[in-house]
Structure 1
Amino acid sequence: MPHLLLIDDDSKLTTPLRSSFERAGYNVSVAPDGHTGLSKALIENPDVIVLDVMMPGLDGWTVCKAIRERSPVPIIMLTALDDSTDRIRGLDLGADDYLVKPFGFQELHAHVKAMLRRVQLTTQPMTASRLRSGQIEMNIQTHEVKRGGNLVALRQKEYDILLLLMTNAERVVKRDELFDRIWGTDWLGDTRTLDVHMSWLRTKLEDDPAHPVYLQTVRGVGYHFATLVETDYV
């Protein structure tokens, strides 16, 4: 089920749009302002974002630029101004498509479907073999982790956590997802075990574990691998 994020302060538009896309089989999230939209975009990892330009506080231009710096998610911008200058500005900031209000719901559906098809066509069926970020290098084929060229001995759970975070570096990984993926959905133990494992990882991988550069906490949400990850494929 594709996940669509609508960022628009006009509830008279977003309420029927949400219903329309949910009937079409989408999982839909709605953000009523730019600050909430940016947060949802980075935490929820949607498949497509529909973003209004004119919003109070954080406008659509700023939100688009901030999202594009962290994520390749397709962004369709909405504007009431049919102005080529606005279109160029949006595309320059990283928007993938542009739609002028008022528009028909079926037209937006068509644009969203086109974005999803484009993503599917450009996704290459390759397997990651090595992940690199700063001093950290992870060889997925040999299960070796190096820091500054030196091998680091990791417990299996530490390795699994690091792999999950590095392969999802564009988003915050929620605590519940970490437990489900690493310990299993039937885990009934102490939830603090995750924090203990993160502390061990930081001790082994960070220059200053108290002020981590790579493995950062997003309070109340989860953890985030905060630096750019380069991937080698086979």
Structure 2
Amino acid sequence: MHILLTDDDTELAQMLSEYLQSQHFQVTCAHDGKTGLELAETGNFDLLLLDVMLPELDGFEVLKRLRAQSLMPVIMLTAKGDDFDRIFGLELGADDYIPKPFNHRELLARVKAITRRIEHINATKPRQDLQFAGLDMCMHSRSVSANTQPLALTGTEFAILHLLLQQPGTVISKEQISEQVLGRRLAPYDRSIDMHVSNLRKKIAEHIEAERIRTLRGAGYVLVGDA
């Protein structure tokens, strides 16, 4: 797996690069947003570790431009305790975030969670397509449509919708989604799942007026059809 690490802290980037390489990942470093975006756009990388505060282009602008053409998994590196950065990054399509300073082992766990998801997708033979209430998921092409209109979903959004489509009408807890999609236990006050579901809702709502993903407060989410 080839990771693109974009961080202007050259000392930290070098340390992280050496650590990830010791864990059998290939790592390329960029130290400004413009270079990071140009490298990400080549399609030669499996995962982007993206700092928020960058020269040339900040991390948010890099993510925004990247999402216009690529669903490459992105983990944002955010300031510790800065909820705005985390929420805004998730709204723009980041797959996950980790606050600085962080333990290298925690970063490794986040990277491995996305790695497992990618390996599972690549290794899984196409299974029966899923359809429910105007939503169609093709497992062969890894594509989704709403009322026949294609949806551009991130890998995380696709995985969440896949989980819901497998069990329409069944409540899926945020804990289940976090563990099965992000590969980690849901932490207190963690809004990442809420933001991914919110993004998914908005994309579906562009083509299906009726609510499809309903929130049951304190329980989780359920995929519903027309009443």
Q: CA deviation at 1:120?
A: 2.6
Q: CA deviation at 1:84?
A: 2.1
Asked if the contact 2:80–2:101 (Cα under 8 Å) also holds between the matched residues in 1, the reply is no
Report the 3-state secondary structure (helix = DSSP H, G, I; strand = E; otherwise coil) of the residue aligned with 1:46.
coil
State the match for 1:48 in structure 2: 47
State the match for 1:119 in structure 2: 118
Task: Provide the C-alpha distance between the structure 1 equivalents of 2:5 and 2:82, rounded to a whole number of angstroms.
Answer: 22
Q: Size of the alignment, in residue pairs?
A: 126
Residue 65 of structure 2 corresponds to residue 66 of structure 1? yes
Deviations 1:105-163 (A, max 9, x none): 11111100001112233445349xxxxxxxxxxxxxxxxxxxxxxxxxxxxxxxxxxxx
Change (3 A) 1:42 1:86: same
State the match for 1:209 in structure 2: none
TM-score by length of 1: 0.51
TM alignment of 1:18-167, pairs within 5 A: 18-123=17-122, 125-126=125-126
Amino acid at match of 1:111: R
Report the 3-state secondary structure (helix = DSSP H, G, I; strand = E; otherwise coil) of the residue aligned with 1:99.
strand
Q: CA deviation at 1:71?
A: 1.3
Task: Provide the C-alpha distance between the structure 2 equivalents of 1:92 and 1:80, rounded to a whole number of angstroms.
Answer: 17
Q: CA deviation at 1:82?
A: 1.6
Task: Provide the C-alpha distance between the structure 1 equivalents of 2:71 and 2:56, rounded to a whole number of angstroms.
Answer: 24
Asked if the contact 2:50–2:76 (Cα under 8 Å) also holds between the matched residues in 1, the reply is yes
Q: CA deviation at 1:70?
A: 1.4
Unaligned runs of 5+ in 1: 128-234
Amino acid at match of 1:108: L
Task: Provide the C-alpha distance between the structure 1 equivalents of 2:82 and 2:34, rounded to a whole number of angstroms.
Answer: 25
State the match for 2:135 in structure 1: none
TM-score by length of 2: 0.53
Task: Provide the C-alpha distance between the structure 2 equivalents of 1:12 and 1:23, rounded to a whole number of angstroms.
Answer: 17
State the match for 1:213 in structure 2: none
Report the 3-state secondary structure (helix = DSSP H, G, I; strand = E; otherwise coil) of the residue aligned with 1:110.
helix
Asked if the contact 2:79–2:85 (Cα under 8 Å) also holds between the matched residues in 1, the reply is no
Amino acid at match of 1:125: K
Deviations 1:53-95 (A, max 9, x none): 0112200000011112211111000012422222111001010
Report the 3-state secondary structure (helix = DSSP H, G, I; strand = E; otherwise coil) of the residue aligned with 2:75.
strand
Q: Which has the larger radius of gyration?
A: 1
Unaligned runs of 5+ in 2: 128-227
Task: Provide the C-alpha distance between the structure 2 equivalents of 1:88 and 1:66, rounded to a whole number of angstroms.
Answer: 17
Report the 3-state secondary structure (helix = DSSP H, G, I; strand = E; otherwise coil) of the residue aligned with 1:43.
coil
Deviations 1:197-221 (A, max 9, x none): xxxxxxxxxxxxxxxxxxxxxxxxx
Amino acid at match of 2:83: S
Report the 3-state secondary structure (helix = DSSP H, G, I; strand = E; otherwise coil) of the residue aligned with 2:101.
coil
Task: Provide the C-alpha distance between the structure 1 equivalents of 2:28 and 2:51, rounded to a whole number of angstroms.
Answer: 14
Task: Provide the C-alpha distance between the structure 1 equivalents of 2:14 and 2:83, rounded to a whole number of angstroms.
Answer: 29
Asked if the contact 2:5–2:13 (Cα under 8 Å) also holds between the matched residues in 1, the reply is yes
Amino acid at match of 1:95: A
State the match for 1:141 in structure 2: none
Task: Provide the C-alpha distance between the structure 1 equivalents of 2:43 and 2:73, rounded to a whole number of angstroms.
Answer: 14
State the match for 2:8 in structure 1: 9
